[in-house]
Amino acid sequence: MQQGPVRVNEDEIARRTIRRSDFVSCDQAFIDCRTPGSERKENYAMIGPGVSQNSKQVINLREPHGYNIGAAAMPNGVVNNLHLHFTAEVFLCFRGEFLLRWGSDGNEGELVLREGDIASIPTWIFRGFTNIGPDDGWLFTSLGHDDTGGIIWGPTVLRDAAGYGLHLTEDGRLIDTVAGDEPPEDVELVRPMAEPDLARLRSFSAEKMRRRVVTQDDLEWCSQPFLDSVVTGGGAELALVVGFGMTEDLDQEPRIFNPHGHNIAWLRAEPGAGMLGHRVEQTQVLMVKDGRWEVTLNDHEPVTVELGEWDMLSVPPGAWRSIRNVGEGTGKLVVINSGDGRVRVDWDEEVVKAAADAGYSIDHNGYVAPYALVPRARG
């Protein structure tokens, strides 16, 4: 599967570890940062620049992953105004309650996102949201692909922002005339979308949008998703959200199928359990929701990092890794891998042998199957 193992040293694992304390907010990331009701938004860019329109936005890890990860933190009542994306936008609600609305005027439909919900918002529709929960509500976001193309703001958003001296150029620069910026002569300013274009946008009913929201009650947990599920030290459970991802269970299917440029799943484990040594070709980000997790990289000369709640780790493609719940209760994290296809797992030889002793193997399609029925390679 791999040409050779990728080794990760202490400095590299430290560079790829983004702790909650490392998050740096920007309160002027977008053109609506002065609009009443929206001026107290705090935006974050953990992996990749996302769609931030402020060149001073702090980005924790710039290395391309095939997707971007950021967040919005908003006090109660604060609004994120209507905008649309060209690539997938997925909301991961880690705390609080948010009222999601969509449509060119925001009146096409509404849904509430609560803690633990994940929502994939279709491309080419206007969307916005309001924090209707506690002041410390948090929405993480994953955006498809490295180049997202930026965003288009709703017509009223652009008009309101202009009243506060903020304009957007067609190449994505934020112009602040209050701060003394002069509109550039070589690039046009973005104009509100015309009515004929608005009329051509996609339409989604509340029922149709609900199928793109995966609540905790919607999750279908697989108790044996991996080859190591029958091996001591394995035992993690998997619930697919977007795409087939890493599952090796022939019958497990995701709630959301359409291409996103990345896949998303929940992984949970009891204390001492997790995933034994394995590697994948894709970029992978582990985002801790609950508990404490230990991640060990490399098959020889291992390096280990412990992750707490809301910490995240970017694991290099091809690196050996194992994941273990070292907390006192059930731990839960989000696993994000690049690409639209299945993620084929390459297991450590000791895991393969232990699984074989327990009567299991991986078939030629990449799924767990009875060891006795899977043809062996001929020498």
Q: Which two tokens stand for residue 200?
A: 């051509």
DSSP state of 228: G
Please compute, for residue 208, the number of CA atoms within 13 A of its CA located in the half-sphere on the CB side: 9
> DSSP letters of 19-88?
-GGG---BTTSSTTTTSTTTTT-EEEEEES-TT---TT--EEE-S--SEEEEEEEE-TT-EEEEEEESS-
* Residue written as token pair 């296809």: 341
Q: What is the mean pLDDT of the chain?
A: 93
What is the structure's pLDDT at 212? 97
What whole-number distance in Å separates Cα of residue 348 and Cα of residue 34? 53
Specify the CATH number of the domain 219-370: 2.60.120.10
- Whether pLDDT at 3 is above 60: no
pLDDT in tens, 323-341: 999 999 999 999 999 999 9
199 backbone dihedrals φ, ψ, rounded to 5° = -65, -20
Burial 273-310 (b: 16+ CB within 10 A, else e): bbbbbbbbbbbbbbbbbbbbbebbbbbeeebebebebb
> DSSP letters of 306-320?
EE-TT-EEEEPTTB-
Burial of 14 per CB tally in 10 Å (0-12, 13-18, 19+): exposed
Check if 10-214 and 219-370 are the same fold. Answer: yes
The gap from C-alpha 339 to its chain's centroid, in whole angstroms, comes to 12
- Whether pLDDT at 96 is above 80: yes
> Which residues have CB under 8 Å from 10's CB, separation 6+?
303
Pick from 1-10, 79-88, 155-164: least confident: 1-10
pLDDT in tens, 257-309: 999 999 999 999 999 999 999 999 999 999 999 999 999 999 989 999 999 99
What whole-number distance in Å separates Cα of residue 325 and Cα of residue 21? 21
- Whether pLDDT at 67 is above 90: yes
* Residue written as token pair 């799924």: 367
Q: Which two tokens stand for residue 269?
A: 């484990």
175 touches 162 (CB < 8 A): no
pTM surpassing 0.75? yes
* Residue written as token pair 């053109």: 31
Helix (H) and strand (E) counts in the chain: 5, 27
In the CATH scheme, what architecture does the domain 10-214 have?
Sandwich (2.60)
More confident residue, 52 or 309: 309
DSSP H or E segment with residue 297: strand 293-297
More confident residue, 97 or 32: 97
Virtual torsion, Cα 74, 78, 79, 80, nearest 10 deg: -20
What is the structure's pLDDT at 127? 96
Q: How confident is the model at residue 378 (pLDDT cuts 50, 70, 90)?
A: low
What is the structure's pLDDT at 1? 46
Domains of the chain, residue spans: 10-214, 219-370
More confident residue, 70 or 55: 70
DSSP H or E segment with residue 161: helix 155-162
What whole-number distance in Å separates Cα of residue 153 and Cα of residue 130? 16
* Residue written as token pair 């955006």: 143
pLDDT in tens, 197-245: 999 999 999 999 999 999 999 999 999 999 999 999 999 999 999 999 9
In order of 110, 152, 233, 318, 331, the CA distances from 228 in angstroms are 42, 45, 8, 19, 18
What whole-number distance in Å separates Cα of residue 343 and Cα of residue 282? 7
What sign does the CA torsion over 118, 139, 54, 190 have?
positive
Q: What is the percent of the chain with per-residue pLDDT over 90, rounded to a whole number?
A: 79
What is the structure's pLDDT at 173? 80
